[in-house]
Amino acid sequence: MVPAFRFLRFGMAPAGLVAAIATLLGSPLAVAGNQKTHLIPKLIPGEIFRYQIESHTVDTVKTTSPISDPESGSRTTQALDLVVRLDVLSPAPGSAPGAMHFRVTYEKSHAEAESDAFDPNGSSFESQYDHIEGSSFDFTLNPGGAITDLRGLDKIFPNRATAEPAYSWIDSLFPANYFPRDGISVGQKWKTERPVAGMPLDDLVWLNDSTYLRDESCNASADSVAKPAVDPPANKPPDCAAILMRYHMTRHGSPHSDATPLSYRQNGLRTSGSWVGTGDSLDSISLATGLVVSSTANSTQDVDYRITSARSGSTVHRKGRVQTQLVITLIPDSN
């Protein structure tokens, strides 16, 4: 799983918007002989689930531009606490076989922002998220894992960049999109790669190393990655799969090649520099249903890049670090 919230807030489309979204629910199928488990979506319209979403971002990126601002800050923190309701909807007429439809409703929302300097966006961040309770949007999850037909989000957040923290966590609800199609078994390791779109540097990718650690109680602590597995009581078999993912962001191609995305070129801009990141996540997924019971993810991104006007030669330079944490918890008895 590659949580999409781990991207800088510079008015660019987050990877969560373009990332594939796969399995929130499913019926794992054990295959005789190789003990493979498949987390295949098998949802029933009318089902309802609730999640608590907690995210925290520390942004220490400094921007240098032709217009000097001595009062500009270099450290910003943002915290977001959501309770969301996820409704499984009936398939829309003409939908592809296997497509699933969902509605997200914000039942509770609270945001806080702090900066070491006056931040006109801080109060806006807080006020927008504190007023989205009761709002909802719909989306379709195609059989291949892609999101289509996002409806209603633009009414909640006319500025898509501002909306990013409100929906990018959806990617973390569907980690099985990054599992081998032929199933997984305890102890298995695998690698996946995913391109990152909408960023100021082209050809960025997440490289992921995943491990099916063990089967355990769904109540096992998320900090037990380094601890030996504890066998459950004889009368209570393990009911969750623990999946660990470690990942890093890099750029394909030569470091000296043009890193400018097409959309920037079309606007008379050129980009250059570096953008790297590392992180890890631990997911606890129900063996009975495929439901994500909990997910904890942390990441760090270091950026040092320039955006230059091809016509005037003026440059904006951004350099620094962004650290993020995302915790997702299924709220019991949500149906």
Q: Encode pLDDT of 21-53 as tens digits.
A: 233 333 344 433 457 887 766 778 999 999 999
**What pTM does this model have?**
0.79
Least confident of 55-69, 218-232, 263-277: 218-232
Does domain 15-69+79-330 fall under CATH 2.30.230? My reply is yes
Pick the most confident of 9-13, 16-20, 184-188, 235-239.
184-188
Q: Where are the domains of the chain?
A: 15-69+79-330
Binned at pLDDT 50, 70 and 90, residue 177 comes out as confident
In the chain, which ranges are E strands?
A: 29-31, 36-38, 48-59, 62-64, 76-89, 100-115, 136-141, 147-151, 189-195, 204-216, 240-251, 269-286, 292-309, 315-330
pLDDT of residue 6: 37
Which of 17-26, 82-91, 269-278 shows the lowest per-residue confidence on average (mean pLDDT)? 17-26
Q: What pLDDT, on a 0 to 100 scale, did the predictor assign at position 162?
A: 65
